[in-house]
Structure 1
């Protein structure tokens, strides 16, 4: 959506085609779109058949739009809409592909889709250098354009950062993590960190609390509660209306994803925190490592390194000057990913022939 807003402001008039299996949706709530319907099913062969049929419909729709509107560029978001790329190649239109991922549920399907997409694309935008390197995107096609926040989210974060003050004694230091209920998101590491911190960090009136913001369905949340022992210092919040309300009082924001399960290609939740002047911790690999210089507003720590994690929490919770410096550094690092910078880079890709 941010890319479309940026193109609108630059004077482009994009015709948007999206795939959907339901009603509503963020993009459709904001602008007029054309929709290709598809169905989800548990049988993988039926799912594959439905995917192929959807691509055929998308192919026909994009061919018609290219001829009717005389569009000169087809912008494709992710490798999944491969039918749009084939249509653009057939119509001899320029193809700009925007890559956000390095894999799908089916590695074989992803390899096939990426092979087709990378050959058909004239320019390939990657959300991080990690994505470009992992997929070995051809140097003459690649352009790294890091994600940013929407202008509205950036404005909210800026207001929070302007009013942020260093904690004072006696202090309540809050550690926040926002994620889905997937094992590789490091929820186990978050719980272990909460327990270890309670045991190791003792400093007068200091109280360290943990908040876990979970994006999950009610059934998933109930199952998680019934199967997990929650430490007394951990507060669970299901689907918060705004993460910024929690970043407002956060002293540290974590991403504890396990790289053996999934590698983050960017790290938007961390950027949201940094824009609020909150220090962060991220995994040692992935696109999130590009958000900051190590030690400058953020740290790269393996999710299994409990000693390292406890050490950072203790440092920032007990040393006001260390926290204040890290807060300022996080805000400075975040400025490199401001919406204006994203707009400039994205438009440059479209304007370059």
Structure 2
């Protein structure tokens, strides 16, 4: 049996990370093959029997970005088509897993050759409108089965996915995160407010930055997934307060999580509704409660026992949570968060995935 995975952009974001965990813990015997753009992200060549690169990079210019995307999908289509045709000539079985809505070229190639196509959908809406319509149409005509990462994502795509067998399978905790014992020795008042994400406006980093400037008596830590150039540019152009520490793509994120008071997700719902919330379950796995938007995926994974659901731009509410929580209440939240995070274990994830592969 051959399992062919197709993913557009291999970087350090959520969708390649989740696919990487699936591949590392793959529950079926067979050859694992991937078509993606590079080896520079979570998807590692060591986890696959064959690793094919199809040229693509993410341009900041819209027209160039679209042209590069189309070129990449032409390459993906021809490459996947040729490889599947070769396997079918050898009378070998094939299943194709399309990670996100974007790699439609791989789905079309698989459909034309009559092999099973599983779409693994992490996202909701893709801009521009015409591209979104085209990608959902391709998914509709090619998918044998669909896996959604949350009920929110499933509901969002219900109109076009109606009639196609589908499942909601929550993302698992990162298998590469080292789980040290909870740091109970650190003084409660020494714990910091943590943000894990990007500098993008949609992700609400500016809200976190304002909170750090407004409350110099609290320590703030930002773990940022960005280039060194972008982070240096931000630090140069903004007056960074002394109580805010930056880490860019750190290798020791486990150590950073475990000393936090709260982990904040501040994505603006009018621009970016979180489809799941990987950093939230990661935080909880270290016994750190969370503060998250009361929209989308976080509604399914955060409750009053493990954290707080808020309007991200309501800084007064966030301030009240951070400053009013007692040490006793925090420890109760911490214990419940740790217990709750076990629902998202790799074991539970693989048990669910094996039923559909």
Do these two structures clear the TM 0.5 threshold for a shared fold by scoring above it?
yes
In the other structure, the counterpart of 1:337 is: 344
Match status 1:128 vs 2:135: no
Over aligned residue pairs, what C-alpha RMSD do you find? 2.3
The answer for unaligned runs of 5 or more in structure 1 is 199-206
Q: Could you tell me how far apart the structure 1 residues matched to 2:205 and 2:60 are?
A: 27
CA 75–305 in structure 1, closer or farther in 2 if over 3 Å, else same:
same
Call closer, same or farther: CA 1:26–1:151 in 2, change over 3 Å: closer
Match of 1:289 in 2: 299
1:140-289 equivalences under 5 Å are: 140-153=164-177, 156-157=178-179, 159-160=180-181, 163-165=182-184, 168=187, 171-198=189-216, 208-289=218-299
The counterpart of 1:16, out of the listed 24, 29, 33, is 33
Deviation at 1:277, TM superposition (A): 0.7
Deviations 1:268-322 (A, max 9, x none): 11111100110001111121222122x1111111111112101111133xx1110
Matched residue of 1:216: which SS?
coil
Tell me: CA distance 1:257–1:141, structure 2 relative to 1, closer, same or farther (3 Å).
same
**In 2: Cα distance, 1:25 partner to 1:239 partner:** 11
SS of structure 2 residue aligned to 1:92: coil
The offset of 1:42, in angstroms, is 6.2
> Structure 1 length as normaliser, TM-score?
0.85
Cα-to-partner distance string for 1:87-143 (whole Å, 9 max, x where unaligned):
221122111100111133534212211221133101110111111111223264221
Give the TM-score normalised by the residue count of structure 2: 0.84
Change (3 A) 1:300 1:109: same
SS of equivalent residue, structure 2 residue 25: helix
Matched, 1:315 2:324: yes
Aligned length: 330
Encode CA deviations 1:54-89: one digit per residue, 9 max, x unaligned: 333322333333343322421111122212111221
The separation in 2 between residues aligned to 1:43 and 1:253, in whole angstroms, is 33
Contact 1:36 1:58 in 2 (8 A): no
| Structure-2 separation of matches of 1:310 and 1:47 | 40
User: In the aligned structure 2, how far is the partner of 1:42 from the partner of 1:151?
Assistant: 32
Q: Indicate how the Cα distance of structure 1 residues 189 and 45 shifts in structure 2: closer, same or farther if over 3 A, else same.
A: closer
Which residue number in structure 2 is paired with residue 203 of structure 1? none
Could you say which residue in structure 2 is the equivalent of 1:201?
Answer: none
SS in structure 1 at match of 2:101 = coil
Offset of 1:23 from its aligned partner? 5.6
Change (3 A) 1:276 1:23: closer
Larger deviation, residues 232-241 vs 259-268? 232-241
Contact kept? 2:212, 2:220, Cα under 8 Å: yes
Paired residue secondary structure (2:356): helix
| Counterpart in the other structure of 1:91 | 113
Deviates more, 1:112-121 or 1:268-277: 112-121
Structure number with the higher helix fraction is: 1
Structure 2 unaligned blocks of 5 or more: 1-19
* Larger radius of gyration between Structure 1 and Structure 2: 1
Query: What corresponds to 2:52 in structure 1?
Result: 35
